[in-house]
Structure formats: structure tokens, C-alpha cells
Amino acid sequence: MTLRLDLLRHGETELGGGLRGSLDDALTANGWQQMQAAVAQCGPWDRLISSPLQRCARFAEQLGARLGIPVQLDKDLQELHFGAWEGRSAAALMETDAEALGRFWADPYRFTPPEGEPVLEFSNRVLAAIERLHAAYAGQRVLLVSHGGVMRLLLAQARGLPREQLLNVEVGHGALFALRVTSGPTLEEGG
């Protein structure tokens, strides 16, 4: 059986761009609007799953209450932890750590930011969470409110991209994508 999984990235955050990772900053008013606009003509969903970080969870809880559907928080769907790079922009890192940043962009599976989470471990935890969702909710339509890194990983898998192209997947604030998930998990893009 297939799980229909819609992916929604959180909107703009109060502390702005850069590598947010496990930092728990809130959405701006514009961030709320981005997410509301993304889901305005979508659904219906049987349930909502969200990262527990407030930039995702607050919106999911509000939407779930409005739609009368259950919301589940899953820590395994949090963003990649960027270690010493958390909160820093790519421009700032280019000034202080350009070689390391270049290695990360070239192949994030082979280079881990200082004190950060290896992308392979991140990939394993996210895909295990998706497999659990498929086992629990196959036959349903679920909205997953999460992060750019989680969505890039899932979209790269669905598109069959090589690992080195993970960071080339574009996922803007408030972006919404549809996936079909079958056992394995096997991911295909589209609703």
C-alpha cells in the first residue's frame, strides 16, 4: 500500500537565514503566511506529522486544531545538526572556513561540519522515520511539516539523484511537495 506524503517546509524564521539546524527559533509573521498560503488549497489530510522544533510544530499544531486532525511530533524528522556552523550563513563561513564549506557542498556525505551530525546518520534516521510512517499510515494522506534538509533528502531519494547532488535540491520557505511512499521505503515524487 502507498502512503501519500505531502512535505511542507517551515517558513521564514525570526533569526533569518543561515544554517538553522537544531536551533529552535520561531516563525516570523511572513513565515506563518508562507505556510498558510502553501496549504490553503491542499489536503485533506488524515494526520499531521511534524518536527518538534517550534518553527514547524507551532504551525502543525495550529493547523491540526483548525482541521480537527491528529498531530504527532517526531524528533527523527528534525533538521541536520550543523555543529559549530549552526546559526552561521554560507557567506560568513566563506570568510572563515571556505575550504571546509566547499568540501561539504561538494559531497555532504563525505564531509561533516565540525561537531556536526554526519549526513549518513541524518539520512538513516530520516528514512527510518519515513519507513515507520509508511508502516503505520499506508493508505492515508499525511502532511509532514519539516525542514529544508529533510525535504532535500527525501526529494533527492525520490528523484534518484546521486548523493553528491543532495544540496542542489531547491526547497524554499513554505515549499510544498507531494511524495508517494511504498515499502522499503521507496519514494516517488507526485501525489
State pLDDT tens for residues 4-54: 999 999 999 998 778 999 999 999 999 999 999 999 999 999 999 999 999
**Residue 31 sits in which domain range?**
3-189
Kindly report the CATH number assigned to the domain that includes residue 16.
Answer: 3.40.50.1240
Q: Is 79 a catalytic residue?
A: yes
* 10 a catalytic residue: yes
Alpha carbon distance 54, 45 (integer Å): 21
Reported pTM:
0.96
Count of structural domains within the chain: 1
Task: Choose, from 10, 81, 134, 173, the residue flagged as catalytic.
Answer: 10
Which member of 12, 14, 61, 79 is catalytic? 79
Q: 47-94 pLDDT, tens per residue?
A: 999 999 999 999 999 999 999 999 999 999 999 999 999 999 999 999
